[in-house]
Amino acid sequence: MNILETTGLTKIYGGISANTDVDFTLTKGKITALIGPNGAGKSTFVGMVSGRIDATRGKVMFDGQDISHLPAHKRIQLGIAYTFQITSVFEGLSVHENVALAARRTFKGDHAVFAKCVTDALTRVGLEDRASQIAGDLSYGHQRLLEIAMGLVQNPKVFILDEPTQGLAEAEIANFITLIQSLAGETTILLIEHNMKVVMEAADYITVLDQGSVLASGTPTEISNNKAVQAAYLGKSDA
């Protein structure tokens, strides 16, 4: 079952197409990676999916509903959480306060349940011992984990992770792979990632963008063996 689908999604800036007729699906409860060379149109596409960029044409369906014309905050309320390529935490607030603020976007319930949700999100990413620490004092890797906790606490149906391992150490990357694999099934993950080790180990499905269009979609094995993908992105062309 697909929880999110795009049909013909296109963005044109001043006559130049950033994305052209992108048909894309997210399978419910699975991890789908979106990859491609720099300038392939990944950020623009995700911006249109999340509502941060208006599409020139095309349709976005989410959980059976046409959300093509909904603004980003409405899509968040429906269950789409999005972490940014550059960390977007509130540096002057504590770790706990950051997650609590994120929780208030969607939370409905009493204070005890609210507090438990915040604590559970911090525990899930391994930051429970840093709850009182000022977010701006965290390492870059821990700020990325905080951002994930801020998404998780919203209990999203779809969780978009934009370059989440950028700047992480090898040990942190290994922990991240374990974390998102543990989330699959609870939520549906769209992973935008350059680290092919992360993509191949973590993703159930992969879609490759090239020059703003879909080049290929399939399992990690199918993508790694695809000659067009090898030539355009993976650097294994027989040429």
| pLDDT classification of 237: cutoffs 50, 70, 90 | very low
Has residue 61 been placed in a domain? yes
Same domain for 96 and 123? yes
| CATH number where 208 lies | 3.40.50.300
C-alpha–C-alpha distance, residues 3 and 93, integer Å = 34
Residue 105 · residue 155 · CB < 8 Å? no
Has residue 170 been placed in a domain? yes
Same domain for 162 and 49? yes
Q: Give the pTM.
A: 0.89
C-alpha–C-alpha distance, residues 229 and 207, integer Å = 10
Model confidence over 41-51: pLDDT tens digits? 999 999 999 99
Encoding tokens for residue 92? 């002057």
Same domain for 71 and 164? yes
Model confidence over 113-157: pLDDT tens digits? 889 999 999 999 999 999 999 999 998 888 989 999 999 998 899
Has residue 85 been placed in a domain? no
Has residue 198 been placed in a domain? yes
Domain boundary among the residues 133, 155, 177 is at 155
Domain range holding 139? Answer: 91-155
Closest CA to 147 of 166, 157, 116, 199: 166
Has residue 150 been placed in a domain? yes
Total number of residues shown for the chain: 239
Q: Hey, how many other C-beta atoms are within 10 angstroms of the C-beta on 53?
A: 18
Model confidence over 167-217: pLDDT tens digits? 788 888 998 899 999 988 899 999 999 899 999 999 999 999 999 999 999
